Amino acid sequence: MKKLVLALLVLLFTFSLAACRSEQEVLYVLNWGEYMDEDVLALFEETHNVRVVYTEVGSNEAMEVQIRLNTTPFDVAIPSDYMIDKLRQSNLLHPIDHSLLPNLASVNFIDRARLIFEDEPWADYMIPYFWGTIGILYNTSNPAVIEAIEAEGFGALFNPNSTFRRGMYDSPRDAIAAALLHLGYNVNTTSESELAEAEALLRNANFDLFGEDNLKREVIAGNLDMALVYSGDYFDELFAAEEDEREVTFNFYAPQTTNVWIDGFVIPTTAQNIELAHTFINFFLDVDNQVANSEWVGYTPVIQEVFDIMVNDLGFDDPVYFPYPEGTTRYVFRFISQQHDQKLSDILNRVRLP
């Protein structure tokens, strides 16, 4: 009899647990790889008794495809500036309701970061998350690599006679932008001749690897001498190495003239839980939550209070941690047209051909 009662209690507990789980709200989040601390995500789930279904992609273009496919009801995504505008123009985003973000009143966005988005038509459709630049991550074990970076800058990445092992970010925007910057052109140029020069530069460089998040690991492992990466890739690895007390054999070169990007939370029209999406965004506007998240991610936060803590209290005081220093030139990617996007994709596809 006791065994029967125990079995019934176990069965009731199992059904009760399953019922609780089924009653949990579900939030679908679309993000880049290694771009949000799992512990902070777990804290959000625990605090609000919800379950987060989290999907990672490697580029803005892959993020766009996921949203357009509409096979998953994504409530929150974190694309970059130009992609936010593209999604907005395609009527694929809900505007942000600031009245559902009480933490917004308690934070200030860094002035230089705010200037990137505050007057843009897509400003009402996003809440900024992180910002940064593109540059070269290089291995410092070989003195010749250091000398090449110091002497040539972006040119070290494109020198057709180079014997260095080099990697290029597998993104039309970033790869072509790096080439255009080295040539002295605007990253948003539509000039056929300038784009043709950039294509030739990319093709003649004969890159050893086109990749995404794996590029930083290949440089650090010594399998590549240098690669185009995002600034946050460097800081992510730098502070992880320092925390683990590993020797740091890599560095980051940020040109005087380069791209500056800003990523932001958006709510796609695929969303089925808009209120919970705002709750999620508001959670990351909490200074303590964003400090914990920023420390793990390694990218530069846009919230001034968070940035100050990272630099003054947590040791994130590297000279290139601030993406837009005085005296530098920074270009922001623009969404020009679908035809222009396709042109950039076609260029990179041709470059990658054997």
Average pLDDT over residues 321-332: 95
Counting residues of the chain whose pLDDT is more than 70, the rounded percentage is 94
Q: How confident is the model at residue 4 (pLDDT cuts 50, 70, 90)?
A: very low
CATH of 132-260+328-352, one of 2.40.50.140, 3.40.50.2000, 3.40.190.10, 3.40.50.1820: 3.40.190.10
Q: Residue 161 above 70 pLDDT?
A: yes
Q: Residue 10 above 90 pLDDT?
A: no
Q: What are the φ and ψ backbone dihedral angles of 27, each rounded to 5 degrees?
A: -115, 125
pLDDT, greater one: 20 or 38: 38
pLDDT of residue 17: 41
pLDDT of residue 236: 87
Handedness of CA 321, 323, 329, 331 (dihedral sign): positive
For 104, residues 6+ apart whose C-beta sits below 8 A from its C-beta are: 98, 127, 282, 285
pLDDT of residue 12: 45
From CA 216, how far away is CA 233, in angstroms rounded?
7
Q: What are the φ and ψ backbone dihedral angles of 284, each rounded to 5 degrees?
A: -85, -5
Rounded CA Rg of the chain: 22
Q: Residue 20 above 70 pLDDT?
A: no
Q: How confident is the model at residue 9 (pLDDT cuts 50, 70, 90)?
A: very low
Q: Residue 1 above 60 pLDDT?
A: no
Mention the CATH class of domain 21-131+261-312: alpha beta
132-260+328-352 and 21-131+261-312 share a CATH fold? yes
Q: Which two tokens stand for residue 98?
A: 């600031």
User: Which pTM was predicted?
Assistant: 0.90
pLDDT of residue 70: 95
Domain locations in the chain?
21-131+261-312, 132-260+328-352
